[in-house]
């Protein structure tokens, strides 16, 4: 057992930390106020990240990435978690699922995404299909050798800046003893493709400036060349590539919690009531003690999940636990910090109210807390036939 970071990892952490502090923090208040990342600013962050060799660092070297291990990449995500998600979006980490690209898809999607020439977004969720992905209604039917797609997706992050979309669409139904089961296929769809439209979505209180959009397909014709992986193989590519993204949510939560925690400690040490620092009251100091204990626990759970992936060990349950615990921990840490700040915690003079709002979505996206518990318990009980 060895709990320390290597020298390289220390340097990765300190480089990303100072990048976030110097290139992201100064713009956060404006993005929060306007709900917009100015185009120029996004491009500037992206270019700096490309110059530093960090862009798409989650991809292997043979396709132009940095070939970071899951552990290294989780450390990067953890540091990025400190900063505004609307801005760190430009510290590009394209979807790993693009590694499933084959033939011409590599030139058209994978390699430009890794270079930062084209940005991607991933679309699964629909108004009537959230946790129940397979319940999706967006469907593609065969027509003259192509696919004709109708339906819509919502809550799609990063769509505003995306040049192309990785979209999961139903391509048929199997009759099974348990009832009908949809077959799902993953497609690559270019922005501007006829019959495909990207529309403004809803306003979320979490992560202002990191917008979600609605995608609509109206007799949108796609050839087989746009299929990522195999026809009807959507769940295979999803299972191979997507469960690791939950780890990035966990890492985000740990990084964000640490930033928030620093505010809590500093404020508790400086704020005086009843003639002394409020940190002197156990009612406050014990909450601080509980916070750091939870943050450390979530951190180790997350890093252990990354370590398991690097070792090639089964990690599905462990990653679900990390996502579940880290996101719920962040909710408590941001809420407690706000409490320690008293009335000032609610005011936008400090970023605490923002951390508190941002934290709320972490228990919902990439699988709600309930779905994580479902994954965890299923792994425990399935072998027992229960």
Ligand X SMILES: Cc1cc2nc3c(=O)[nH]c(=O)nc-3n(C[C@H](O)[C@H](O)[C@H](O)COP(=O)(O)OP(=O)(O)OC[C@H]3O[C@@H](n4cnc5c(N)ncnc54)[C@H](O)[C@@H]3O)c2cc1C
Q: Which of residues 174-213 bind other proteins (CB under 8 A)?
A: none
Q: What are phi and psi of 140, to 5 degrees?
A: -120, 130
* The only residue of 3, 4, 7, 347 in contact with other proteins, by rule CB under 8 A: 7
Q: Which x/- pattern, by CB under 6 A, does the window 118-137 give for ligand X?
A: ----xxxx----xx------
Neighbour-count burial of 210, counting CB atoms closer than 10 A to its CB (0-12 exposed, 13-18 middle, 19+ buried): buried
18 interacts with, out of other proteins, ligand X, none, CB within 5 to 8 A per kind: other proteins
Looking at 52-60, 240-248, 250-258, 347-355, which segment touches other proteins (CB under 8 A)?
52-60
For tokens 């709600």, name the residue. 368
What is the footprint of other proteins within residues 269-308 (CB under 8 A)?
none
> Which residues between 336 and 365 bind ligand X (CB under 6 A)?
339-340, 342-344, 346, 361, 364-365
Residue 212 dihedral angles phi and psi, to the nearest 5°: -115, 145
- CB of residue 299 vs ligand X: minimum separation in angstroms? 24
The one segment of 48-56, 105-113, 155-163, 316-324 that binds ligand X by CB under 6 A: 155-163
Whether the Cβ atoms of residue 154 and residue 127 lie closer than 8 Å to each other: yes
Does residue 20 bind other proteins (CB under 8 A)?
no
53: left (phi over 0), alpha (psi -120 to 50) or beta: left
Q: Shortest CA distance to 89 belongs to which of 97, 98, 80?
A: 80
Angle at 317 between CA 313 and CA 318, to 5 degrees: 70
User: Alpha-carbon distance 274 to 281, whole Å?
Assistant: 10
Would you call 275 exposed, middle or buried from its count of C-beta atoms within 10 A (0-12, 13-18, 19+)?
exposed
CA dist list (Å): 153 to 25, 220, 361: 32, 14, 18
Per CB under 8 A, 8 contacts other proteins? yes
Q: Nearer Cβ to other proteins, position 67 or 172?
A: 67
Tokens of 109: 């999607």
Q: How near is the Cβ of 199 to ligand X at its closest, in Å?
A: 14
Window 64-83: contact mask with other proteins (x via CB under 8 A): --x-----------------
Q: Does 12 bind other proteins (CB under 8 A)?
A: yes
* CA separation, residue 81 to residues 84, 202, 290 (Å): 8, 23, 21
Which member of 11, 141, 225, 289 binds other proteins (CB under 8 A)? 11
DSSP character at residue 59: S
Which entry of other proteins, ligand X, none binds 342, CB below 5 to 8 A by partner kind?
ligand X
CA 145 to chain centre: 35
Give the residues lining the site for other proteins (CB under 8 A): 7-8, 10-12, 14-15, 18-19, 51-54, 57, 66
Give the residues lining the site for ligand X (CB under 6 A): 122-125, 130-131, 155-157, 204, 212, 271, 273-274, 278, 281, 283-284, 339-340, 342-344, 346, 361, 364-368, 370-371, 374
């Amino acid at each position: 057992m060895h709990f320390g970071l290597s020298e390289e990892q220390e340097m990765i952490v300190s480089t990303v930390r100072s990048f976030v502090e110097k290139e992201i923090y100064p713009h956060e208040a404006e993005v929060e106020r306007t709900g917009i990342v100015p185009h120029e600013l996004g491009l500037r962050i992206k270019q700096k990240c490309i110059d530093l060799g960090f862009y798409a660092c989650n991809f292997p070297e043979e396709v132009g990435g940095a070939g970071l291990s899951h552990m290294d990449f989780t450390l990067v995500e953890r540091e990025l978690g400190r900063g505004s998600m609307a801005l760190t979006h430009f510290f590009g980490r394209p979807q790993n699922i693009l590694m499933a690209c084959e033939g011409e898809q590599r030139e058209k999607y994978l390699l430009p995404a890794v270079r930062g020439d084209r940005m991607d977004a991933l679309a699964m969720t629909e108004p009537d299909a959230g946790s129940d992905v397979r319940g999706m209604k967006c469907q593609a039917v065969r027509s003259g050798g192509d696919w004709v797609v109708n339906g819509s997706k919502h809550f799609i992050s990063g769509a505003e800046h995306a040049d192309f979309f990785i979209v999961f669409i139903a391509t048929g139904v199997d009759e099974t003893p348990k009832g009908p089961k949809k077959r799902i296929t993953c497609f690559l769809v270019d922005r501007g493709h006829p019959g495909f439209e990207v529309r403004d979505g809803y306003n979320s209180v979490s992560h202002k400036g990191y917008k979600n959009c609605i995608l609509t397909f109206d007799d949108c014709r796609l050839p087989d060349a746009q299929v990522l992986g195999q026809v009807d193989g959507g769940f295979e590519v999803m299972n191979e590539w997507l469960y690791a993204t939950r780890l990035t949510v966990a890492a985000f939560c740990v990084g964000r919690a640490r930033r928030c925690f620093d505010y809590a400690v500093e404020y508790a040490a400086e704020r005086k009531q009843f003639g002394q620092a409020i940190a002197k009251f156990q009612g406050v100091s014990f909450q601080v003690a509980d916070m750091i204990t939870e943050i450390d626990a979530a951190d180790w759970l997350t890093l252990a999940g990354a370590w398991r992936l690097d070792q090639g060990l089964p990690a599905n349950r462990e990653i679900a636990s990390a996502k579940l615990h880290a996101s719920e921990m962040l909710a408590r840490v941001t809420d407690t910090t706000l409490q320690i700040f008293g009335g000032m915690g609610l005011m936008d003079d400090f970023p605490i109210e923002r951390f508190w709002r941002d934290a709320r979505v972490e228990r919902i996206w990439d699988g709600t807390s309930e779905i994580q518990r479902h994954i965890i318990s299923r792994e425990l009980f399935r072998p027992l036939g229960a």
